[in-house]
Structure 1
Amino acid sequence: MGALTGLKILDFSTLLPGPYATLMLGDLGADIIKISAPDKKDIVADYPPYIDGCDITANQAWLGRNKKNLFLNLKTEKAKEIIYKLIKEYDIVIEQFRPGVMDRLGFGYEDLKKVNPKIIYCSLTGYGQTGPLKNNAGHDINYLARSGNMNYSGKENIGPVLTNMQIADIGVGSLHSIIGILSAVYFREKTGKGQYIDISMFDGLIPFHAMEGASFLVNGIEPQREKTRLNGGSAYDFYETKDNRYLSVGSLEPKFWENFCNCIELPELIKETVMPENVKEMKEKIRKRLLEKTLKEWLDIFEGKDVCVEPVLNMREALLEDEHIKDRKLVVDVKVANSQEKIVKQMGTPLKLSECPIEYKESGYPLGYHTKEILEKLGYSEEDIKNLTETGVTSLYEK
């Protein structure tokens, strides 16, 4: 029994934010049905490579884990009939269309609330359901830029720097959707009332300003690139080693700073602190010193010294070789759906629950795979399903 066994969720989302939210909810035991359009590609689910010998991509095998999926053309009246039947049982919805789209299709909160008054309905968008930007298209880079975070990120001489991490998508969109849904579930348990949840990836980036944002709202001083404690204005930074690898140095507190300076044999820097006025000169001394040895040589020196220094690992080192990641089971072996014995490695869900641990039943299936099974459970006959297929309401999965 999973922590969320009994929760039943209809997932109308695409790309990464919504699917990752329901991936975590499914890993925790929720029953997920993913709704997809039979005639539209999902650039994340369809992102190559395919798993050898299978008709499923690595991304769909991961994001679709512990889910069923259904093909429906939501623009048809018959699709509305099917969704209205499902919503009597699957009483939590997450959708990722622009504001108003689900309303026009007849699947908005007010529409589904009439069918099931206890429905919990989460809308995940870039800029939210209100405000002048609500209908704007956007991606992670746009939300990071408009939120102000990138104005003091990066380097003085080149400006903002891409990270290849979906900060707004996962760090805000996915996780805030989960928080909102589970908060609404708790509220419904206490009151019997469902509700509407408005999650904006842009909104959630405002608190990412953290300490600098709190300070600015008090003193009005704009943070600048490479001028704050955490953006390059202190010794807190990345440094190259002799073999063209990199170390991350996070020695902020006095005891860590002292240990670090002693390890690199520059004890005279201790009194200057991690953020002196001549920070550029100090960092140049650190850079020159760290270039004298290889990454491994420095790691051997720092071993057990309590310095807040770690290597910049490549993906193979992190996901396949790192002993801590192995111990924490952050990469797991999962049975490939619809195969006899094939196993694939996937990134696990980073939650540890003592009484109801995460269960990785099997990878995701190709989109549309469970269409016939779901329709049959709703009472549709073979002839009904054939008619729904012929009229473009749905499409059956074919290998």
Structure 2
Amino acid sequence: MQHALQGLKVLDFSTLLPGPFATLYLADMGAEVTHVESPTRPDLIRLFPPYAHGQATAHLYLNRNKQSVALDLKDPQNIATIKEKISQYDIVVEQFRPGVMQRLGLDYATLAEINPRLIYCSITGYGQTGSYKDKAGHDINYLALSGIAGHSGRTQSGPPPLGIQVADIAGGSLHAVIGILTAVIERHQSGKGQYIDISMTDCAVALNSMAAAAALAGNITQEPESGILNGASFYDYYETQDGRYLSIGSLEPQFMSGLAQLLELPLLLEKGTSLLAEDRVELKHALQEKIKTRSLLEWQQLFSAQDVCVEPVLTLDEALHSDLAQQRHWVAHVPLHEHSTETQAQLTCPIKFSRSAMRYDFIGQALGTGTW
């Protein structure tokens, strides 16, 4: 099977998570990615524990299928070399603060003079314009400013510190991939490349979708535990007898009815759709008491054959080794290098094509060991 993006060449100057995750997907889908790193100031992801085969596991995953090239961008000769080679590339991805690539002589305007077909994507926290453009930030800051944190979590405990980097990945990385591939399609018509400005905060704002639609068009601002999907209704997590949790999402009438019968809880049918706060509190309390009467395993056995939108909250390790993980191929065993028989388990790219294959050629390389 062919790779969907075979033939595209990407020059990646990004570090940490957002840019490398975006170019990981491009590489998995067949693009040839050259990752340029500093020889003296390595990508901090290389330093994050834990380690496997002498390198950080996160770096080995994020830089799968990529050629690692070590270049000091303060050396004029290296800048000249990049300019000599830029005509061979379709896409540039960078993640420096605004103005850095211009000072280096590697900004879009300069490189597009050499290669007018170049697609150039900058990923930053706050974008290339506005009063925040030069500020430092992290995922937690972008979620705070986007409004997401403001209507998440509990009224008494506040916003939750999430286990994943939502703004970095769902915001920066995936929107960057969308923008890049859209520009590739547009280039087929115009013959020209273009510049893409990705702000992780901008993209995180877009993730508000339904809540933002209600706020903007309906003048209804969602607060924590005020909406059907953020804790005000019985759509929630419930602790089991052994301290684990069940997720209950039985909102539709057929699921609500099935759950009420299984739990022998007619109150669910009486007050499951009520808009009154006291009814919702009463119902949630009844569900909390009911779910605490059995262990997670007992509930799993009860609900395993029932289609009522109730599932166990799994640990990450449980999820990665679940039947679903095997059935949907969540994990691949990737060679340590192109000719190695030894492999490392890594997450796969979740996109599944009918004719195009993903590639998992080798894990992330040691600094500067790639070719270009």
Query: Normalising to structure 1: TM-score of the pair?
Result: 0.90
Q: 2 CA distance for matches of 1:340 and 1:28?
A: 21
Q: 2 CA distance for matches of 1:318 and 1:274?
A: 32
Q: 2 CA distance for matches of 1:339 and 1:57?
A: 21
Q: Which residue matches 1:165?
A: 164
Q: Larger deviation: 209-218 or 58-67?
A: 209-218
Q: Which residue matches 1:363?
A: 363
Q: Which residue matches 2:22?
A: 21
Encode CA deviations 1:324-357: one digit per residue, 9 max, x unaligned.
1111111111111277432110010001111111
Q: Larger deviation: 4-13 or 68-77?
A: 68-77
Encode CA deviations 1:74-123: one digit per residue, 9 max, x unaligned.
11110111111221101310000111110011000011011111111001
Q: Which residue matches 1:272?
A: 271
Q: 2 CA distance for matches of 1:93 and 1:275?
A: 53
Q: Which residue matches 1:349?
A: 349
SS, match of residue 234 in structure 2: coil
SS, match of residue 93 in structure 1: strand
SS, match of residue 234 in structure 1: coil
Give the counterpart letter for 2:178 in structure 1.
Answer: I
Q: 2 CA distance for matches of 1:132 and 1:288?
A: 50
Q: 1 CA distance for matches of 2:104 and 2:12?
A: 15
- Is residue 188 of structure 2 the alignment partner of residue 189 of structure 1? yes
Give the counterpart letter for 2:226 in structure 1.
Answer: K
SS, match of residue 225 in structure 1: coil
Q: 1 CA distance for matches of 2:155 and 2:280?
A: 14
Q: Which residue matches 2:108?
A: 109
Q: Which residue matches 1:327?
A: 327
Q: Which residue matches 1:3?
A: 4
Q: Which residue matches 1:392?
A: none
SS, match of residue 202 in structure 1: helix
Encode CA deviations 1:241-270: one digit per residue, 9 max, x unaligned.
011110011111111111111111102320
Q: 1 CA distance for matches of 2:260 and 2:81?
A: 66
Contact 1:257/1:274, CA 8 A, preserved across alignment: no
SS, match of residue 46 in structure 2: coil
Q: Where does structure 1 lack aligned partners over 5 or more consecutive residues?
A: 375-399
Contact 2:338/2:361, CA 8 A, preserved across alignment: no
SS, match of residue 142 in structure 1: helix
Q: Which residue matches 1:306?
A: 307
Matches within 5 A, 1:49-60: 49-51=50-52, 54-60=53-59
Contact 1:61/1:336, CA 8 A, preserved across alignment: no
Shift of 1:23: 0.5
Matches within 5 A, 1:63-74: 63-74=62-73
Q: Which residue matches 1:43?
A: 44
Q: 1 CA distance for matches of 2:357 and 2:133?
A: 39
Contact 1:2/1:28, CA 8 A, preserved across alignment: yes
Give the counterpart letter for 2:247 in structure 1.
Answer: S
Contact 1:235/1:274, CA 8 A, preserved across alignment: no
SS, match of residue 44 in structure 2: coil
Aligned residues: 369
Q: Which residue matches 1:125?
A: 124
Shift of 1:41: 2.9
Q: Which residue matches 1:254?
A: 253
Q: Which residue matches 1:296?
A: 297
Q: 1 CA distance for matches of 2:125 and 2:221?
A: 25
CA 1:275–1:30: 2 relative to 1, 3 Å: farther
Report the identity percentage.
45
Contact 1:27/1:66, CA 8 A, preserved across alignment: yes
SS, match of residue 247 in structure 1: strand
SS, match of residue 44 in structure 1: helix
Shift of 1:156: 0.9
Shift of 1:297: 1.0
Q: Where does structure 2 lack aligned partners over 5 or more consecutive residues?
A: none
Encode CA deviations 1:273-298: one digit per residue, 9 max, x unaligned.
24541211110110000000111111
Query: Normalising to structure 2: TM-score of the pair?
Result: 0.96
- Is residue 319 of structure 2 the alignment partner of residue 318 of structure 1? yes
- Is residue 69 of structure 2 the alignment partner of residue 34 of structure 1? no
Give the counterpart letter for 2:220 in structure 1.
Answer: I
CA 1:275–1:363: 2 relative to 1, 3 Å: farther
